[in-house]
Structures are given as C-alpha cells and as structure tokens.
Structure 1
Amino acid sequence: MYVLKCANGMYYTGSTKNLELRLAQHQNGEGANFTKKHLPVELVYYEEFHRIDEAFYREKQVQGWSRKKKEALINGDYNKLPELSRNYTQYGISTSSMHKTSSMPENTPFVEPVETNNHISTSSMSERCSMSGRSSFLL
C-alpha cells in the first residue's frame, strides 16, 4: 500500500506488488487516471504486507480517511490517528485505545506499525502469516 502526493497537493492511495515499477508507471502517465492528470507525483508513504488481502483492505481503509488523518500517518503521528477519525467527535473515542474495530471483518488481523520514516513494515497477528517459508512482498 502506498500514498503519493500529486502536483496539485492531493493524495493518491494505491497498492501494487512492485512499487518501483508502479511509481515509474505513474510518473510516465501510465498509472491511474487521477495521477495522469496531476503529474508529477511523489511517494510520501508506503507499507509492506505479507498478504494481498491485507494490503487491499488497508488501501481501502486509508482511502476513506480525511486529508488530516492521511497526513498524520505520513508524518508518523500515530497517536493522532484515533482523534482524527470521523467518528471520534460523534462517539468520543479515547485517543489511548487503538483496537480492532467492528467495521473490520472478523478474520482481518490487526496490523501494528513497527517502524517510522514514512515506511511501515506490518506484520499480521495471525499465525498463518508467521509460518516459515513465507516471504514478505510489497503490494
């Protein structure tokens, strides 16, 4: 999962198995229709996942976030993410509790950040992803 900043200042969120190739496609106008219209683009954030379905879920999750929440993620301000949630003011969610939400499918593992600097390598909490022989891939 990756986030690009477009020439007009807007963010584009996507996922790919080959980030380097996909970035070149975006820069050459061969990427998504949105980025074609707003070149050049700059990679500002990315995450790696062990499984395709986890990366796709994360992409859709981040796409639904506000600009401020995306910028908190990009800047590594993870403690701000709960308060920037759209339902925070409506439901008064505590900033000290980041847990799996009911909107996530039951079989979707919770993903925790393990490193900063605009790149997060994520690891699934489920045993099936920690089996030996599984290699990590970027989506």
Structure 2
Amino acid sequence: MSPWYLYLVRTLDNRLYTGITTDVERRFSQHQAGKGAKALRGRGELTLAFSHLVGDRSSALRLEYRIKQLTKAQKEMLVKGALSFEDLLASLQTSSEIKTLG
C-alpha cells in the first residue's frame, strides 16, 4: 500500500485548496492541467504551498477534514511552519481515541 500525503495548493487569488493523494507531483500536475478538483479549474496559476506525509488513507481523510475546518489564517500558519503539523496529527489521534472510548 502506498503512503498518503496531505497537500495545499495556492490559487492565483490566494486561496488554499486542501487535498490528499498517494503521489503529490502527479496530483499537482493534474490540477495544473485543469483535471481533478472543480474548485481549482480556471483559477489561474497554481502553486504547491505545502505537502506532508500522513500515512494511511483513513488518517489522511480525517486530517484533510480537520484542516478544511481551519481558518485561512491557521492554514497560512501551517504553510509557514508556525503551526506544527505534528501537533495537528497528535490532536487528530487524540480525538479519534476519545471517539473510540466514548
């Protein structure tokens, strides 16, 4: 099984799109070619702003959801490294453990 990655793509109008994939370069190329996510079509030049190894698909999906809930400012902090990706992973594991126990 291939490892999964979380990535953020910046659009020309400075929006951040969050996605997951097993191959960041391939997926980013698809986005640039206008294939894949409708949210990125016609948005002009795209930039890969952030990518990070997550692990399995289930963890990637949960983390993608969690990051999509962040504010734009929090996403920018993640891109700049001011918000620790490891802390986000730890909080995700903690909340799934709480759900399992509850």
Q: Is the 8 Å Cα contact of residues 34 and 40 (structure 2) preserved in structure 1?
A: yes
Residue 96 of structure 2: aligned partner: 105
- Against the structure 1 CA distance between its residues 50 and 107, is the aligned structure 2 distance closer, same or farther, given a 3 Å change threshold? farther
Give the deviation of 1:105 after TM superposition. 1.9
Residue 3 of structure 2: aligned partner: none
Residue 60 of structure 2: aligned partner: 55
CA RMSD of aligned residues (A): 2.4
- Against the structure 1 CA distance between its residues 23 and 40, is the aligned structure 2 distance closer, same or farther, given a 3 Å change threshold? same
Give the one of 9, 17, 32 matched to 1:12.
17
The CA distance in 1 between the partners of 2:83 and 2:48, in whole Å, is 19
The CA distance in 1 between the partners of 2:28 and 2:83, in whole Å, is 25
Question: What does 1:36-115 correspond to in 2, within 5 Å?
Answer: 36-78=41-83, 100=91, 104-106=95-97
Q: Post-superposition, which runs of at least 4 consecutive aligned residues in structure 1 deviate over 6 A?
A: none
The CA distance in 2 between the partners of 1:100 and 1:23, in whole Å, is 27
1:50-92 per-position Cα deviation (integer Å, ceiling 9, x unaligned):
211111111111111100000011101127xx9xxxxxxxxxx
The CA distance in 2 between the partners of 1:39 and 1:29, in whole Å, is 10
**Bigger fraction of residues in helix:** 2
Provide structure 1 residue ranges, at least 5 long, that are not aligned to the other structure: 83-98, 109-139
Higher-Rg structure is 1
Aligned pair count?
Answer: 89
TM-score, normalising length: structure 1: 0.58
Aligned-partner SS, 2:21: coil
**Bigger fraction of residues in strand:** 2
Q: Percent identity?
A: 24
1:25 paired to 2:30: yes
TM-score, normalising length: structure 2: 0.77
